[in-house]
Amino acid sequence: MAMPIFLGVGLVSAVALLAFLVWMGGTASGERVQISFYCSCSKEAKVIMSERIETLGLGEPELNENEDGLVLLVTLPDIDGAVESIPKLLSQSGELLVKTTDGTVLADRKMLKLVSLSINESGMPYLDATFEDKAVEKMAEYVASNSEGYIDFWVDQQLIAHRPNTVKIEASEPIRIIPEQGDTRKRMQLAADAGVVLSSLPYPCELRPSPAIQLY
């Protein structure tokens, strides 16, 4: 079952909201393509990928198993780079690691209960992550005893956020994850991609996408 992913919008500009929704695939009016995904866990992967396709709002998806893995026919969003970025996003493992400055693991994907995707009043995207109590206690203890340190959030071996320990962790509140790399669009991409892959279970095996074949 997919983990719920919510889009929260406060006092956000129309331009920032439009850019965010377009990146999320709000209008699936781009190329119709075929993408093959090679894997050894096609049955489980089909369920997980179907959830990601639905989250992204891709157009007219047809996802089928074959002897090599999965074959997807789909209409992509009409945005630059979709033919490269969408197959990569659909095939990401979906693993999460929360680490201290020295690399000690404080939490992982199994401890994540809920993720919500939002934009603040300045038009910047962020994730609110709710973890199991044990993980929250461990993170809060580290933050309280290492005021000059950081907590790093990694999704599929990519650093998403470098959260300073000056920002305290409250047991009753979600942990806010704010991407800091690149310009506004890059941060939107990081937040949206992380929200999509963390809203479903991780794949139990590696998926290798082939280059997309344009149909029409």
In the block, tokens 């929360």 appear at 98
Domains of the chain: 31-93+201-214 (3.30.70), 96-198 (3.30.1360.200)
Question: In the prediction, which pLDDT does 27 show?
Answer: 54
Which residues lie below 8 Å from residue 172, measured CB to CB, with a gap of 6+?
Answer: none
Give this prediction's pTM.
0.81
Question: In the prediction, which pLDDT does 20 show?
Answer: 47
Q: Give 106-117 as a DSSP string.
A: EEEGGGEEEEEE
Question: In the prediction, which pLDDT does 14 show?
Answer: 32
pLDDT in tens for each of the 216 residues of the chain? 444 444 433 323 333 333 344 445 445 667 899 999 999 999 999 999 999 888 877 888 999 999 999 999 999 887 778 888 889 999 999 999 999 989 999 999 999 998 888 777 777 778 899 999 999 999 999 999 999 999 999 999 999 999 999 999 988 889 999 887 777 777 877 888 888 899 889 999 999 999 988 887
Q: Closest Cα to residue 149, out of 174, 136, 130, 168? A: 168
